[in-house]
Amino acid sequence: METKRYTTYFLGDACLCWSLGEKIDRLTSLRVLYVYRQLRKNEELAGLGVHDLVPSYTSLAAHADPLCDWEAVKRVVDGCLAGMPSAEAKLLVRSVRHVLPVSYHGEDLQRVADHARITPDEVIRRHTAPEYLVAMIGFRPHFPYLLGLDSSLVTPRLDSPRTAVPAGAVGIGGEQTGVYPETSSGGWNILGLTSPELLYAIEPGDTVLFTRAEE
């Protein structure tokens, strides 16, 4: 085991955070997700008043009663961090793979292709090649933020966000790719559509594989 460096800080009086890094990368996310998955159903934390653990790209937040024993909460989480394995393969525990068929006829497919200077078919090939890591769920319930996008597909968000992006829209926003679980506003580049119901079972730490839907 190796010692991991991290910092802790409060957000208000009911949330304590552990920051494991300052930039978005796969290893940092795996470390955050390891602690989250080890402790999300921890009875000791629940007994101390922790009612929710929330992972982000670089940190883990513990939400609890403001009057809880924060030092005891910190000891539990710090202990998990101290026992974290150093090998990347051992960090991805209890992972489930979700396969999402996509109809790649999105209104921004050509825009992404033009930005990358490749064909739309090549955009699809590169988008379906990786197995993405679900770093966190946010923005909307069941919206998965995915790590692993091919760097050639990085595309700026739209200058003017749309007022209504359809449920199931698969998009790229900068270095990120994800899926809209419900109709909402949004400025990501839409590549196509999948079934939003497939998102309901996805949890942080799982993996996602996009496939081209048969049409």
Q: Contact 193/169 with Cβ under 8 angstroms?
A: yes
Q: Contact 75/164 with Cβ under 8 angstroms?
A: no
Q: Is the pLDDT of residue 4 over 60?
A: no
At a CB cut-off of 8 Å and minimum separation 6, what does 183 contact?
164, 165, 166, 167
Phi, psi of 125 (to 5 degrees): -60, -45
Q: Is the pLDDT of residue 192 over 90?
A: yes
Q: Is the pLDDT of residue 1 over 60?
A: no
CA distance 91 to 77: 16
Q: Could you give the angle at which helices 26-39 and 70-82 cross, rounded to 10 degrees? A: 120
> What is the per-residue pLDDT across 135-182, written as a single tens digit (0 to 9) for each?
999 878 899 999 999 999 999 999 999 999 999 999 999 999 999 999
For 15-27, give the DSSP string: EEEEE--SS--HH
Neighbours of 67 (CB within 10 A): 9
> What is the per-residue pLDDT across 51-106, written as a single tens digit (0 to 9) for each?
999 999 999 999 999 999 999 999 999 999 999 988 787 787 667 999 999 999 99
> What is the per-residue pLDDT across 117-138, written as a single tens digit (0 to 9) for each?
999 999 999 999 999 999 999 8
**DSSP E strands: which ranges in the chain?**
7-10, 15-19, 50-55, 59-64, 97-102, 132-137, 144-147, 162-165, 169-173, 176-179, 184-186, 189-193, 207-212
Of residues 68, 92, 79, the one with CA closest to residue 6: 79
For each of the domains in the chain, give its residue range(s) and CATH number, in order of start.
7-88 (3.30.1360.40), 97-212 (2.40.100.10)
The residue whose two tokens read 């497919």 is 109
